[in-house]
Amino acid sequence: MRKPRNEHDVVQSIERAFRSTRSSRLTVSLGDDTALWRGSGHKQTLLTCDWFLEGTHFLGQKHPPDAIGWKCLARAVSDIAAMGGKPACFLLSLALPDRLAGRWLTGFLGGLRRVSRATACELAGGDTTRGEHILIGITVLGEVARRQAVLRSGARPGDLVYASGTLGEAELGLEQLRRLPTLPRPPNAALRKHLYPEPRLALGQWLAEKRLATAMMDLSDGLSSDIPRLCAASGVGATIDSSLLPLASLKDRRRALALALHGGDDYELLFTVRPGKAALLPGEFRGVQLTRIGKITHGRKILLQDAKGGATLLGPGGWDPFRTS
């Protein structure tokens, strides 16, 4: 493949990859000063952005380019799912070393296009530049019907706490990725979860439309880091029951529990439901398991309860790029 000469060529590679995915709601997308987008008058706009940086969020030598393309957009779309919204379009900010502007870029754009199609989230524009390392910034614009967005701040004492899917699997996948010299093909469940997370869009929208979730967020940094954020926004505490957590299938139950509590990158939904509405929740929604994992409490403490009824304080052990460890 020809190596791009300059910024214009990189932009053209991106345009070619996404040419067939345009809708009529983007009047102008690539190639003008800004994208021009026609919103629905009766909806609210959701806006989110996410870094995805080599060395911090992925390993340039280990992560396949198409998984990097998939994951950078999937995790930003997951924030839209966590509000109960629908993605509409995204902006791609990309800084690349010259040597990656050929085959690597093609692989990256392939993964990006797959998740763009799977989630109906069109490329609307972006900015490209040269960089020593791969830097990716994704902005997603989405929509939600008025007064239907599910915030982090709506949990009340007595609400039940739920999680979708299994917890800790993505962290297990990352451990395997670091350890294995080559990746198994097809990748196993843990690797798939780490490399190609699926934003829980249908579930988030359903919970919002049916007004079942009182508060919601996505699990990106790990349960022990994320649930304090939901509780702080709601002014409440929580008790998590360790015996209820949907763990990854591992022989070592203690390790599976630690992964479920502190492992990042799961992109499952964490949400709360009034006890009176719990009966309306199925055990599974379109193939995704829904598990009650605890309860919202008065006070501000986050407690972990074990099978014998003992409870300990649950401190954040998940991922924080600024933590000095």
Q: Which of 12, 23, 129, 312 binds its own copies (CB under 8 A)?
A: 129
Residue 2 in contact with its own copies, rule: CB under 8 A: no
**50 backbone dihedrals φ, ψ, rounded to 5°:** -145, 135
Residue 101 in contact with its own copies, rule: CB under 8 A: yes
N- to C-terminal Cα separation, the chain: 43
How many residues line the site for its own copies (CB under 8 A)?
A: 70
β-pair type (302-305, 237-241): parallel
160: Cβ–Cβ under 8 A, 6 or more apart, which residues? 272, 273, 274, 275, 278, 292, 294, 295, 296
Q: Residue 115: what residue type?
A: V
63: Cβ–Cβ under 8 A, 6 or more apart, which residues? 71, 177, 195
Query: Taking the complex as a whole, how short is the minimal distance between the CB of residue 153 and its own copies, in angstroms?
Result: 8
Nearer to its own copies, 187 or 197 (CB): 197
Residue 42 in contact with its own copies, rule: CB under 8 A: yes
Residue 46 in contact with its own copies, rule: CB under 8 A: yes
**Closest by alpha carbon to 154, among 300, 315, 274?**
274
* Per-residue interface string for the shown chain with its own copies, residues 236-275, x marking contact by CB under 8 A: ----------------------------------------
201: Cβ–Cβ under 8 A, 6 or more apart, which residues? 77, 80, 81, 86, 87, 119
**Closest by alpha carbon to 134, among 64, 52, 12, 49?**
52
Nearer to its own copies, 95 or 244 (CB): 95
For residue 186, is the peptide bond before it cis, meaning its omega torsion is within 30 degrees of 0? yes
Q: Which of 130, 253, 298, 300 binds its own copies (CB under 8 A)?
A: 130
The structure tokens listed for 171 are 């962290």
Nearer to its own copies, 17 or 83 (CB): 83
Q: CA–CA separation, 109 vs 260, rounded Å?
A: 31
Query: Taking the complex as a whole, how short is the minimal distance between the CB of residue 27 and its own copies, in angstroms?
Result: 7
Nearer to its own copies, 67 or 89 (CB): 89
Query: Taking the complex as a whole, how short is the minimal distance between the CB of residue 225 and its own copies, in angstroms?
Result: 10
* Per-residue interface string for the shown chain with its own copies, residues 21-40, x marking contact by CB under 8 A: ------xx--xxxxxxxxx-
DSSP state of 246: -
Q: CA–CA separation, 126 vs 94, rounded Å?
A: 8
Residue 66 in contact with its own copies, rule: CB under 8 A: no
Query: Taking the complex as a whole, how short is the minimal distance between the CB of residue 186 and its own copies, in angstroms?
Result: 31
3-state helix/strand/coil string of 265-277: CCCEEEEEECHHH
Residue 59 in contact with its own copies, rule: CB under 8 A: no
Residue 320 in contact with its own copies, rule: CB under 8 A: yes
- Part of the chain binding its own copies (CB under 8 A), chosen from 16-24, 129-137, 241-249, 305-313: 129-137
Residues that bind its own copies (CB under 8 A): 4-10, 27-28, 31-39, 41-42, 44-51, 53, 56-57, 79-80, 82-83, 85, 89, 91, 93, 95, 98, 101, 124-131, 135, 137, 139-142, 144, 149, 151-153, 216-218, 233, 320-324
